[in-house]
C-alpha cells in the first residue's frame, strides 16, 4: 500500500510525469503545457491556490496524485474542494490508492468544515465512473460543465 502525503517541491518532476500519463489516458497526449517550474510556483509559491497530495510507494516513486483547489458555495456559505485531477498509475489501480487519496481529501473537508468535494469525469471513462459510484458519489443531473477559453475568452475580455 502506498503512503499518502502532501506534495513537496522535490515531487514536481514526478507530478508532471503523472500529469502527462493522465493526458495520455484521457486521449489528449499533446495537451499538457505545464512545466516543473510552473508546478513549483503554483503549488509552493508565496500564495498557493492549488494543492496536491501524492501516493508514494516504498521506493519513493509517486504512483498517484490528487490535485485540488478550494471552491465556495454561496448557498452553503462554506468552502469545498474541487478535485482537478485524480490519477493512479495503471500498475497500482485496484490496490486502494485512489480510495486512500480521496479519503485524505474527504478528511480535509471534515476537519476544515468544508461541505462538499466535487469533480468531473469523462463520459467514456467507465472504470472511473464505476469507482466513483462505488464510493457513494453522485452525478449532478441537470448540470453541464461549461468552459470559456482561447479566442472566445479573448473576445469576452474585450
72, 87, 114, 132: the active-site residue: 132
Query: What pLDDT does 157 receive?
Result: 93
Is 114 an active-site residue? no
If pLDDT is split at 50, 70 and 90, which confidence band does 144 have? confident
Q: Which helix (H) or strand (E) holds 87?
A: strand 78-88
Sheet holding 3-6, edge to edge: 3-6, 51-56, 62-73, 78-88, 117-118
Q: Alpha-carbon distance 67 to 83, whole Å? A: 6
If pLDDT is split at 50, 70 and 90, which confidence band does 147 have? confident
Q: Alpha-carbon distance 19 to 114, whole Å? A: 26
Residue 3, all three cell numbers: 503512503
Average pLDDT of 44-57? 97
Q: Is the pLDDT of residue 27 over 80?
A: yes
In the chain, DSSP finds a helix count (H) and a strand count (E) of 5, 5
Query: What pLDDT does 146 receive?
Result: 86
Of all residues in the chain, the percent with pLDDT exceeding 70 is: 100
If pLDDT is split at 50, 70 and 90, which confidence band does 1 have? confident
**Which residue has better confidence, 12 or 144?**
12
Amino acid at each position: 500500500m502506498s503512503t499518502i502525503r502532501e506534495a513537496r517541491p522535490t515531487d514536481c518532476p514526478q507530478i508532471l510525469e503523472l500529469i502527462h500519463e493522465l493526458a495520455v489516458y484521457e486521449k489528449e497526449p499533446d495537451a499538457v503545457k505545464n512545466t516543473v517550474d510552473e508546478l513549483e510556483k503554483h503549488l509552493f509559491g508565496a500564495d498557493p491556490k492549488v494543492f496536491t497530495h501524492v501516493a508514494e510507494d516504498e521506493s519513493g516513486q509517486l504512483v498517484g496524485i490528487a490535485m485540488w483547489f478550494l471552491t465556495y458555495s454561496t448557498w452553503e456559505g462554506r468552502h469545498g474542494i474541487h478535485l482537478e485531477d485524480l490519477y493512479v498509475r495503471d500498475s497500482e489501480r485496484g490496490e486502494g490508492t485512489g480510495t486512500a487519496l480521496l479519503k485524505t481529501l474527504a478528511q480535509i473537508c471534515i476537519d476544515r468544515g468544508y461541505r462538499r468535494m466535487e469533480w468531473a469525469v469523462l463520459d467514456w471513462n467507465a472504470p472511473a465512473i464505476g469507482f466513483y459510484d462505488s464510493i457513494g458519489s453522485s452525478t449532478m443531473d441537470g448540470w453541464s460543465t461549461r468552459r470559456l477559453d482561447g479566442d472566445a475568452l479573448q473576445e469576452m475580455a474585450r
